[in-house]
Amino acid sequence: MSEIAVPPAEIQCKSKTLAGIYRKQFIELAQLRRHICSIIPFRRFPAVVEPGCGTGLLAREITSLTDASYTGIDISNSILSIARRNTPEADCLKFIHADVQEFLPPADAYFSSFFLAGMTDPVAFLSRVADALTQGGFYIVFGEYNYSGIVDDPPSDLAGRIIESLRRDGFSIELGRTLDAVFTEAGFDTILSGSVRGKMQEPDEEFISLQLGSSYTNTSHQRLSWEIVWGIYRTPFTYQNSS
């Protein structure tokens, strides 16, 4: 089968659309991130890694809390170029264009935001992350959607169509609902986890356009509320008997 080339202009357009969605998402979840960061001892970590680092917004925020070396990994070069522009003051940050299925550097903590649901096999991926982490290393999930918890008002087929579209794109629709269980299966201990519900509001038009295209345009009177789950997980300590 011949490979279909995507025009550079189309890639640039999609990257800008994604960057806009990421920024709105980032702003809306500022309070949740502050809560999580108040719990995690980022200053004690020599090295941190962010798989699926996107446009670098989370990198900029987390690296302001620690002197740890930072490595961000993303499969999209165009998105990484935005990340580098978003963090011009941080010369110590390392952004790498790679597939996280093949490249997982050692670290004291991994963290991600709205990334794991895009993995084909989250358990297998997290098992490999556990091997890359130091003993007692952390994985911090700043947010994943529980897609089964979408509420629409008035009731319509919009939520269902979004879920089916994401499923066709390869997203793990059940991940948010089973986040703790996924980490447990991958060999992590759950330290703390929870969920927050976003306010009922009109759906983001950029997201609807990106996900549903022209097949669904009448959202002017529709409102959605999303449930977002988060968690702090840790690899177990292995104690050796000195006798």
Q: Tell me the per-residue pLDDT of 72-111, one tens digit each, with 9 for 90 and over.
A: 999 999 989 989 988 876 667 899 999 999 999 999 999 9
Residue in 204, 183, 185, 201 with CA at minimum distance from that of residue 193: 183
Cis ω on the peptide bond leading into residue 154 (within 30° of 0)? yes
Q: Is the pTM of this model over 0.75?
A: yes
Higher pLDDT residue, 3 or 192?
A: 192
User: Would 33 be classed as within a structural domain?
Assistant: yes
User: Would 3 be classed as within a structural domain?
Assistant: no
Residue in 169, 178, 115 with CA at minimum distance from that of residue 146: 178
Residue 222 has pLDDT above 80, yes or no: yes
User: Would 23 be classed as within a structural domain?
Assistant: yes
- DSSP 8-state symbol, 117: G
Average pLDDT over residues 24-37: 87
User: Would 143 be classed as within a structural domain?
Assistant: yes
User: Would 241 be classed as within a structural domain?
Assistant: no
Domain limits for position 21: 8-216+223-234
User: Would 210 be classed as within a structural domain?
Assistant: yes
Residue 24's pLDDT band (boundaries 50, 70, 90)? confident
Residue 7 has pLDDT above 60, yes or no: no
Residue pLDDT, tens place only, 123-170: 999 999 999 999 999 999 999 999 888 888 888 888 888 888 888 888
User: Would 180 be classed as within a structural domain?
Assistant: yes
* CATH code: domain of residue 191: 3.40.50.150
Query: Percent of the chain having pLDDT more than 90?
Result: 50
Residue 214's pLDDT band (boundaries 50, 70, 90)? low
**Number of domains forming the structure of the chain:** 1
User: Would 240 be classed as within a structural domain?
Assistant: no
